[in-house]
Amino acid sequence: MSGYTTHEVFNQPPPLLDFNAWDTDAPLRDAVTVFGGAWARARLEACGARIGSAHVQTLARLANRFTPELRTHDRYGRRIDEVEFHPGWHELLGMLRADEVHSFGWTETRPGAQVVRAALSYLWAQGEAGVGCPGAMTFASLAALRHAPELLACFQAKILSPLYDPRPVPPAHKAALTMAMAMTEKQGGSDLRQITTEAVPLGGGRYALTGHKWFFSVPVADLFLTLARTPAGPTCFLAQGWRDDGGRNHLLLQRLKEKCGNRSNASSEVEFRGLEAQIVGEEGRGIASILEMTHLTRLECALGSAGQMRQALRLALHHASHRAAFGHLLVEQPAMAHVLADMALEVEAATWLAMRAAAALDASPYDEGERILSRLLVPIAKYWICKRTPLVIAEALECHGGNGFVEEYDIARLYRDAPLNGLWEGSSNVICLDMIRALTRMPESAELLRAEINLAKGADAALDAWLATDLPAPEDRNARHLAEQHALALAASLLLRHAPREVATAYCATRLARAGGYALGTLPEGVDAAAIIRRNCAARE
């Protein structure tokens, strides 16, 4: 025995390496099949293997440990306003683009393409959330750029390219383009009507923008959308990161935000000092144009949070299946089994809810009812899933004991990242008020949602009781209550129609009938916790 060895290390779970995030996720596989994306199984399986690989996990850890650094000037004193990333971040973003997370819903024309793209996004949220931000903004940018057909025709092919080109050069010299947006100002936050950035015409359809943006994520993007004020009101603009002459556009990166999570991704404050840009859409209607983009990025928040919950559950199950205490594996102990099963109920409900919203987006071009329903489903899914994610991930961290609070463990990174999607693209009140706007401006959306929930009528007494209850009027003061009630009922309906019986009945009993307690793990009698855990541990045969 070595003189430095004091004891044998045992009863420590092995690292969770080289798993397949698709093959080990029965709820996701079922949802993709139900919503028309089964034809892409091979693509999703390949992505799942990549996400679970030791290589991707290593890159994610490195990219979060060695965070982006701002370089305002080069060694000779020239202003350059660049950001240096760990090479792992660039490699991860290249993989995400190769998987077409940013483009598949637009480049593939088969029914179910948006469902498949959503599943790819959900899987990548389990790999590294930091590259999800540029992927989401690139995907969603087409919704805004459709209001500027000439600009769309100029840039679309490179935006949708599966290649990744990180070089700081003008778009014309690049093989592929990354998109971003810079909207928020410090005086307004989510209230974009308070922007003070001003736009002055330069002639030839170009404008010079002057102002300060409080959050500009991915400031190294090749193109970005922003808002500035013209005499007609807030207007949407597209700007290049680097001008056609090769120089940096007229923006000064003031600092990088030192965030508590999402550390691999750079978020900055920036000043526009004559930023050259072109109008997107109708002058004075910029907020409306941007909201079409944020509808898609809000769906990305729901998908990302659902994926993060899935990974947290996977880590907790792995730990509990290999760690013993008091003579038994943790997973075999009734109290822990109830915690794990209750988390699994939350994760499966989130998966079905997010994928149903993706299915509505997929059908929107040819089904008016689904288009209207999409307008309601996205804020409901975004609010509820993002609200539940910190709770579930905190419980998964606790399953690890003290190890979970140590940065060497991946669950710690998930814990730090967990609240972000609830803030990004509108915090909870903003999202719930957006749902109220949908209900009041399109009353038929409420009828369509009720009809969707009604598809499971008669399958469970708790859901039937919910259907028989009158909800409060769609007013601002009721916004959170209505969002929660619709999310719970729709998730219950989806589970009753598509999930195993033991999952659906347990969810209805605990979330609709309020049997059991308030904390996770307080399941009532009769819940088959072992069956729920088996569904979330088993790999596809």
pLDDT band for position 191 (50/70/90)?
A: confident
Segment 3-9 shows an average pLDDT of 75
pLDDT recorded at residue 190 = 77
Question: What number is the average pLDDT over the span 7-27?
Answer: 93
Coil, strand or helix at 245: coil
**Per-residue pLDDT tens for 375-421?**
999 999 999 999 999 999 999 999 999 999 999 999 999 999 999 99
Coil vs helix vs strand at 211: strand
Token pair 């949908």 is found at: 438
- The model's pLDDT over 478-521, given as tens digits with 9 standing for 90+, comes to 999 999 999 999 999 999 999 999 999 999 999 999 998 999 99
| Range 243-257 burial, b when 16+ CB lie within 10 A, else e | eeeeebbbbebbebb
Task: Please tell me the predicted confidence (pLDDT) of residue 189.
Answer: 74
Res. 7 pLDDT band, cuts 50 70 90: confident
Please list the residues that pair with 229 across neighbouring strands. Answer: 198, 234
pLDDT at 181 over 80: yes
Interatomic CA distance for residues 261 and 277, integer angstroms: 31
26-284 CATH fold: Butyryl-CoA Dehydrogenase, subunit A; domain 2 (2.40.110)
Q: Strands 267-280 and 328-329: what pairing? A: unpaired
**Alpha-carbon gap, residue 207 to 230, rounded angstroms:** 10
Give the dihedral sign, CA 436/437/441/445: negative
Average the pLDDT over each of 189-198, 321-330, 435-444 and give the range with the smallest value. Answer: 189-198
Q: Specify the pLDDT at position 2.
A: 58
pLDDT of residue 536: 93
133-162 pLDDT, tens digit per residue, is 999 999 999 999 999 999 999 999 999 999
User: Mean pLDDT of all residues in the chain?
Assistant: 95
Mean pLDDT, rounded, for 46-70: 97
Q: What is the pLDDT of residues 337-369, one digit of tens each?
A: 999 999 999 999 999 999 999 999 999 999 999
Task: Give the Cα separation of 272 and 252 in Å (integer).
Answer: 7
Per-residue pLDDT reduced to its tens digit, 93-113:
999 999 999 999 999 999 999
pLDDT tier at 331 (50, 70, 90 boundaries)? very high
Kindly tell me if the per-residue pLDDT of 457 is higher than 80: yes
Residue 8's pLDDT is what? 85
pLDDT at 539: 65
Nearest to 490 by CA among 291, 354, 367, 295: 354
User: Is there a contact between 280 and 144 (Cβ–Cβ < 8 Å)?
Assistant: yes
Phi, psi of 292 (to 5 degrees): -65, -35
Nearest to 65 by CA among 41, 86, 34: 86
What is the CATH code of the structural domain delimited by 288-537? Answer: 1.20.140.10
For residue 3, what pLDDT is reported?
62
Closest CA to 178 of 255, 93, 99: 93
- Which residues neighbour 492 within 8 Å (Cβ) at sequence distance 6 or greater? 349, 453, 456, 460, 462, 463, 466, 504, 507, 508, 511, 512
In the chain, the N- to C-terminal Cα span, in Å, equals: 43
Looking at the chain, the domain(s) classified CATH 2.40.110.20 span 26-284
Which one, of 437, 416, 534, lies nearest residue 483 by Cα? 437
Residue 540 reports pLDDT greater than 70: no
Residue 541 pLDDT > 80: no
What confidence score (pLDDT) does residue 429 get?
A: 96
pLDDT above 70 coverage of the chain, percent: 99
185 dihedral zone (left: phi>0; alpha: psi -120 to 50; beta): beta
> Does pLDDT of 1 surpass 60?
no
pLDDT at position 163 over 90: yes
Higher local confidence (pLDDT), 70 or 205: 70
The pTM (predicted TM-score) of the whole model is: 0.96
Closest CA to 253 of 233, 235, 273: 273
Q: Are strands 233-240 and 251-256 parallel, antiparallel or unpaired?
A: unpaired
